[in-house]
Amino acid sequence: MTDHLASTFWSPSRVYAAYRIVLAAILIAVYHLAPTSIFGDSSKPGLFIATASVYLLLTLVSAGLMTPLRRRFPQWAALLPVAVDILLLTMLIHASGGTKSNLSVLLMVTVASASILLPGRGGMLVAAFASLSVMFEQFWFSIQLTLDNPWHLTESGMLGFAFFVTSIIIQQIARRLAESEALAETRHKAIIQLEELNWQIVQRMRTGIIVFDRSQRIVLANKAAETLMLSGSGTLVNSILPPALTSLSRQWQGNPIQHRPAVQLVPGGATVLVRFALLDHIDQPLTLAFLEDQRQLAQEAQQLKLASLGRMSATIAHEIRNPLSAISHATGLLAESAQDEADKRLLDIVSANVKRMNGIINDVLSLSRRQAGAAERITLVELVARVQTHWLDRGKTGDQLTINIPKDVVVRFDPGQLEQILHNLIGNAFRHGGEEVSVSLSGGHQRDTGLPWLQISDNGPGIPAEARPHLFEPFFTTSRQGTGLGLFVCRELCEANQAQLDLTESSSGASFVITFAHPDRVFQ
């Protein structure tokens, strides 16, 4: 930013304005300190000092009025100072002895500057004007000296030719410099955009990325790495690698191809798989570490396995339904003609199991055909109140199903799917806890993240310790009448809506917590 401001301030026009002021001041100083270095035999000191003084005054005035003149007369703002310089420098050359004076070279600087400030025809016009000025000065000087041939303009003609050559060369150089600067600016913007794109990609990657130097100091870390190592709070940049990652790095340096198991980088943190790569850098070599959450990898593998299992189960369930329908129809016909109570009892058992099998098939088919939900912002207490009304209509009392949720809790979820989840969890509580069990639904916002949550708790017998690790697995159930798909479907629906369903510790009964995504976050 500082370099850009400096380049804007020291533009060619400002540099030329400063040059004019310094030149006029030097001419006046040289006149007083060393006049013999300027004046020839036919010099006019009075005209010289008067012209130099006027030149200094005009340069100061034009420098002060540069910005207003450029705004009001943009086409003439650059040409006018150059024309004034040519006229006054020609007078100074005349006053110091003609074109043989050392001051003639100053016109070359003016022509070169004009070729930069006025590219194209403007530069050639200034070169022509300077050539005519020196030719007229030599002609006028010859008349004053009463020479026999005042039209002898060889020196001024050669000087004019040099003006044109200088203008052409400088214009070519200026044009190429302008093209190079434009190309450099375009590439600079492209590089900045590419760096920003790369940074956004790195930040949005699900894989944690850490770059650290030889002294084990972290120089870059994306959000995924900070989430894995800092639980999403704080920053890893400029910090030192944790001891576990430092040990893995040294093992990798000793044997890069050795397989390393998943480790826990920080106490209580996630278990991650770490891979390293060497990153060449100009100053010093850097090391790149990739952190993969083992739970996430296992979950993705489980999802692929369940997807294949779901398609196969749906095919099998469809094939089973046809003979099951025949069994159900045959059982109904036998029940109509059966007279013996033992036969009726057996037919009732067959009919009940047929209904149970049909329920399992319906659950499997609904699981494989489930459509994506349409999430929307909903007030949590209003939806839970509708669920409570449903259970009150089915005979439950207000003491058996209580609600404690603030009115400002808003979630982003598919309403139908959330009701399905709540009905499943509440139904499980009443089914396993008995008629006397009570269920409470409470909610709020987390203190550290601000995410909304909903807790479904009961005071029933709870869940056995040996069943807790397998609670959300498909087809796992502790009831003879269950299908083992209820909690699995509930967790799947939560994940489809960017929420998380977990079993939490409770003093009595079972307690489930749904942690919702931020209601304003559409993509997570």
Half-sphere exposure of 293 (CA within 13 A, CB side): 17
Question: What is the model's pLDDT at position 385?
Answer: 92
Q: What is the pTM of this model?
A: 0.45
pLDDT reading at 474 higher than 60: yes
Band of the pLDDT at 46, cuts 50, 70, 90? confident
Q: Are 38 and 101 in contact (CB under 8 A)?
A: yes
Phi, psi (degrees; rounded to nearest 5) at 457: -125, 150
pLDDT reading at 156 higher than 80: no
Question: What is the model's pLDDT at position 341?
Answer: 78
Higher pLDDT, 172 or 2: 172
pLDDT reading at 390 higher than 80: yes
Higher pLDDT, 412 or 202: 412
pLDDT reading at 172 higher than 50: yes
Return the SS3 of 98. coil
Question: What is the model's pLDDT at position 234?
Answer: 62
Domains annotated for the chain, with CATH where assigned, are 2-187 (no CATH), 206-294 (3.30.450.20), 297-368 (1.10.287.130), 376-515 (3.30.565.10)
Percent of all residues in the chain with a pLDDT value above 70, rounded to a whole number: 81
Among 10-24, 259-273, 330-344, 507-521, the minimum mean pLDDT is found in 259-273
Higher pLDDT, 13 or 149: 13
pLDDT reading at 20 higher than 80: yes
Tokens of residue 102, six digits? 């050392």
Question: What is the model's pLDDT at position 523?
Answer: 42
pLDDT reading at 232 higher than 60: no
Sheet holding 439-445, edge to edge: 401-404, 439-445, 452-458, 511-515, 500-504
pLDDT tens per residue across span 183-210: 999 999 999 998 888 888 888 887 888 8
pLDDT reading at 118 higher than 70: yes
Question: What is the model's pLDDT at position 187?
Answer: 92
Q: Are 236 and 230 in contact (CB under 8 A)?
A: yes
Return the SS3 of 104. helix
Q: What one-letter code names the amino acid at 30?
A: V
Distance CA 104, CA 358 (A): 108
Band of the pLDDT at 2, cuts 50, 70, 90? very low
pLDDT reading at 393 higher than 60: yes
Percent of all residues in the chain with a pLDDT value above 90, rounded to a whole number: 6
Question: What is the model's pLDDT at position 6?
Answer: 45
pLDDT reading at 1 higher than 70: no
Tokens of residue 427, six digits? 């139904």
Highest mean pLDDT among 63-77, 362-376, 425-439: 425-439
Residues sharing a CB contact under 8 Å with residue 168, sequence separation 6 or more, in sequence order? 124
Higher pLDDT, 490 or 151: 490
Q: What is the β-pairing status of strands 410-413 and 376-379?
A: antiparallel
- Closest to 452 in 3D by CA, of 523, 520, 372: 520
Distance CA 460, CA 329 (A): 40
pLDDT reading at 471 higher than 80: no
CA dihedral 505, 507, 512, 516 (to 10 degrees): -70
Average model confidence (pLDDT) across the chain: 79
Distance CA 135, CA 156 (A): 5
pLDDT reading at 250 higher than 80: yes
pLDDT reading at 4 higher than 50: no
pLDDT tens per residue across span 68-112: 766 776 666 678 888 888 888 888 887 777 767 777 788 888 888
